[in-house]
Each structure stands twice: as structure tokens, then as C-alpha cells.
Amino acid sequence: MLTVVCATSARPALAQNTSVEGTSPTLAATAESAPRIDKIDKPGMFKRTFNWVGEKMIDGVGDAKDGLYPELGGMIPGGGIAVGPGYRHHLFGNAAVASASAAISSKRYSMMQSRIEWPSLFSNRLSIGASGKYQDFTQINYFGVGRDSDKSAWSDYRLKSVDFAGSATVRPVYWLSIGSSGGYTRGVDISRGLSSIHVSTEELFQENTAPGLTVQPRYGHANVFVEADTRNVQGYATSGGIYRIGMTSFHDLDGSGQSFRRVDADAAQYAPLLRRNWILSLRGHVALSQTAAGNAVPFYMMPTLGGRNTLPGYNDYRFRDRNAASVGAEYRIPVFHMIDAALFADAGSVAPTARGLWDGRLMRDYGVGLRVHSTTKSIARLDVARGREGTRVSVSLTKSLGGSRNTVIPYVP
């Protein structure tokens, strides 16, 4: 089916440009002057299908109508493909939207969540919301702490938790967001992983090599952040950038010595290179942890590298420590209608101190991939990546660069 679409839309290169909303005025003017533009602009069945999937099913529901919808997400990397039911309903004259969903994945991960949000108060200057989420992730990878952790020590653990949170975001101008959130996490439970391939974490590690393995406290957490977002399309940008810095404090409510603070800084920039619809993406991420005397960062909350969001040439959560940093670049080239080829390379490191992040060797990878997208959203991606430990192939429903975290515990890069 995709081949038929490719044959009709790939003939003029302009068709690739018009498949992404929010293109530059220069590009729009070029499109208006091109021959047979009436045929290019008319969306066919396949284009309408891709747009509907991207805008209504993947990465949020936007202004979708009330009622049932499919939940395709809610899991952390490594959980496999997840599906489930969702329901939303607008309230108070459409000023607020309430939703609830559940999903289960191919690796038996499961989650249930509900949320109510007022997204556009005071002429879109303020958003507030509250949420509750239960999650059960059955086989999260753990290899030990540090960049020299051994791949042969591959283990997995199961993590359950319940989190309640509230948030507020102020937008002084359309591209700037200043926000905060606070919440309470209870029921954190580390138990035997369900993988039939790898041993459970408690069989290889102890408290000194996996802090927090034996005791998991309740947490109160608070976050503040500043974000500048100039992307032309949030879900599949072709220009602009997003820059964010935030600080989160986790307070151990049970006094077990596992309180800590973490600063996360993210940057992603998108720009055409060589041609208007050939897009270069650059990304950087830094996570720095700090503890008071007598406290430790639990292993499941340490910053990590590895997997679809950082260093895809390595296994999910392959490297972890108190501090982590990574940089990456991706070059997207349209090959078919709503399908881009991608070339990418990444480098990163973890360390017990911030100063040690760039001392010594870096973990690196490179690879090729495909990106399936609608006019405004990333729908799916396929990556073939090569790192020092071999070649990995991964398929996921997610953005390739500039993604966002959707869980409090465990840490997700």
C-alpha cells in the first residue's frame, strides 16, 4: 500500500515538502507556484489515514472528540508494543478535559492512569492539571553502575509504583513555558524480574552495588522548569528548537537515606541542510544528581544511557550512574510519502561526578533508520544502530529526537 502512495507522490520533490505542516513561507510560496498543485494538495486515502493515526492515536490526542480512543503508549523504553483502551470527556464547557486509559505490552508491562487538565486558561497563558498513575514494569534492564559495567552482568528487575501529581504551566509568550509540579509516590516495590532469558537483579547485585535494592521508600517530589520551544511542528519538527532546564527534588518520606536532587538540561535544534526538506537534528542532554551526606541515589533513579532515546546501538538502560550526558545528530531525507530515511550518530558517558563525564572514553554509536510520520506527528521509527557491543535493531512508536519523559519512577532517558 505504501508503494502505491510513493509512486504518486515521490515524482515531484515538492510533494515531500507539502506533507509537513508549518513549513517556511518561502517553501509555501514555492508550492503555490508549482504546476498541478491542485493534485498535490488533495489528500488521498492513505494520507488521511496517516494523518489521523498520527494526530489522534500517537503522542497525545490534541482536540480529539469525546469518547473511546486507543491507548498506544504509557510504557517506558524496553517494554515492547503496548495497546489498551482510553476514554476522554470534555468538561465545564470544553474548558477542561478528563481522560483515563490502561495498556498492557508485549513484555507484560502494564499501566493505568487518569488525568484532568485545563489546558488553555486565560487566553492560553496557563495550564493546570492533576493525574494519578499505576505502573508495573516487569523486566527492566540492570547491568550495574558506571561506564565500565559488564554486559555479561545483564539482569532485570520488576518495578511497581503509584504516583499522584499536580502541575501548572505559565506561558508569558507563545514559545516560553515556566512550570512546576509536585507529587507523591507510594508503593514503590522492587521484585524479581520476569525475563526468561536473564537472571533477576537480586541474584547478581547487593545493596552496595545496587543502592535501593532492598528498601524502597515513599517519595514526595517537586519539579520546576523553564522551556523555550520554537519548533514549527511539535510532533515532527523541520525547523526551530526546544531548550529545557529543570530541577527535581525527591524527598525520602521514610527516612531511609535516599533523598536527592537532580538537574536535567535538554536541547534539540532542527534545520534544513542542502535542501529544504532534508532536516538535520542536533540534540544534547545532561542529568546531574546531588545528595546530602548520608544519602544515596537509588539505582532505579540514576540517569541512564542506552536505548531508543540515547545511544540506540546499546541495550536499554545499558549505562547508569549519578550523572549522565549525551549528544546526538540525525539527518532525515524524504524517500517516500510520509516516510523519511535517517542517518544518525550519538556519543555519551556516565560518571559518579559531573567533572568525570568527559574524562576517559565515550560510548558511541551510529546507524540508519526509517521515520514514519503524519503532517504533525511522528508515528513510528525503525533503527539499525551499531555500537561497541554489536548491532541492534529496534522498532518503536516514538519521536527520535526531542522526546519527553512521561514517568517519575524509574528514570527514563
Instruction: Look over the chain and give the mean of its residue pLDDT values, rounded to a whole number.
Output: 86
DSSP string, 324-381: EEEEEEEEEEEEETTEEEEEEEEEEEEESSSGGGGSS--EEEEEEEEEEE-SSBEEEE
50 has a pLDDT exceeding 50 = yes
> In terms of pLDDT, which residue wins out, 19 or 382?
382
Strand-strand pairing, 176-192 and 219-229: antiparallel
In terms of pLDDT, which residue wins out, 34 or 290?
290
The pTM score is 0.83
3-state DSSP assignment of residue 210: coil
CA distance 50 to 52: 5
In angstroms, what CA-CA distances link 279 with 50, 231, 270, 375, 388? Answer: 20, 13, 7, 15, 27
To which H or E segment does residue 127 belong? Answer: strand 126-142
Encode pLDDT of 362-383 as tens digits: 999 999 999 998 888 888 899 9
Tell whether the model's pLDDT for residue 133 goes beyond 70.
yes
Pure H helices in 169-225:
201-204
Residue 408: the pLDDT is 92
Q: Mean pLDDT over residues 272-280, rounded?
A: 95
CB under 8 Å to 135, separation ≥6 — which residues? Answer: 74, 109, 110, 111, 159, 160, 161, 162, 163, 407
Per the structure block, which three cell numbers stand in for 39? 493534485
Q: Which residue has the higher pLDDT, 106 or 42?
A: 106
| pLDDT at residue 331 in the model | 98
Query: Would you state the cell numbers that stand for residue 122, as one nine-digit string?
Result: 486565560
Tell me if 5 sits within 8 A of 44, measured CB to CB.
yes
Mean pLDDT of 187-212: 96
The CA–CA distances, whole Å, from 232 to 34, 57, 242, 269, 330 equal: 23, 21, 10, 11, 18
The per-residue DSSP string of 64-119 comes to PPSEEEEE-----TTS--EEEEEEEEEETTTTEEEEEEEEEETTS-EEEEEEEEEE
**How many C-beta atoms lie closer than 10 Å to residue 188's C-beta?**
22
- Write the pLDDT tens digit of every residue in 314-372: 999 999 999 999 999 999 999 998 999 999 999 999 999 999 998 878 999 999 999 99
Q: Assign a CATH topology to domain 47-396.
A: Porin (2.40.160)
- Percent of the chain, pLDDT > 90? 72
Domain residue limits, the chain: 47-396
**Confidence class of residue 52 from pLDDT cuts 50, 70 and 90?**
low
Write the pLDDT tens digit of every residue in 380-406.
899 999 999 999 999 887 654 444 456
Residue 33 pLDDT = 39
Taking only the tens place, the pLDDT of each residue in 138-150 is 999 999 999 999 9
pLDDT of 5 higher than 70: no
